[in-house]
Amino acid sequence: MHELSLCQALIEQVDSVARRHGAVAVHRIRLSIGPLSGVEPDLLAHAYALAKAGTVAENAELELVRSPVTVHCTDCGAETDVAPNRLRCGACGTNRVTLASGDELLLMHVEMTAGESRKGASHV
């Protein structure tokens, strides 16, 4: 159950982003999770509910975006979506592929209300 420790890392990152932007509240956190990250989105969502208590993200909604497993074929060049345990080119069948997507575990966005002096959207 490593999802709880990942949630604690998530909260720390969100807290640091919020502080950097002088935010008073965080509304929404968007994560990108691939099946090959080894993280179970449902478990992560449960752990998040525990980890956010008493933090700047206390009232923030967690949006989990599941990315597909996509492989790039080094033989024929095709890019195909495949099952996590079948990393073979969907076009020619070879296993000489590289993973283009599917092992992400990324904090994508944090939406928040900025403090009085730092209103508006910003980019880091």
Q: Does 107 bind another protein (CB under 8 A)?
A: yes
Q: Does 80 bind another protein (CB under 8 A)?
A: no
Q: Does 15 bind another protein (CB under 8 A)?
A: no
Helix, strand or coil, per DSSP, at residue 118:
helix
Instruction: In angstroms, give the least distance from the CB of 34 to another protein.
Output: 6
Q: Pairing state of beta strands 70-73 and 79-81?
A: antiparallel
Q: Does 71 bind another protein (CB under 8 A)?
A: yes
* Residues 6+ away with beta carbon under 8 Å from 46: 3
Which residue bears the tokens 């020619």? 92
Q: Does 42 bind another protein (CB under 8 A)?
A: no
Which residue bears the tokens 């502080």? 19
Q: Which is nearer to another protein, 54 or 67 (CB)?
A: 67
Q: Which of 59, 56, 46, 61 is nearest to 7 (CA)?
A: 46
Q: Does 52 bind another protein (CB under 8 A)?
A: no
Instruction: In angstroms, give the least distance from the CB of 58 to another protein.
Output: 16
**Binding residues for another protein, per CB under 8 A?**
1-2, 5-6, 9-10, 12-13, 17, 21, 23, 27-28, 30-32, 34, 36-39, 65, 67-68, 70-71, 79, 84-88, 95-102, 104-114, 118-124
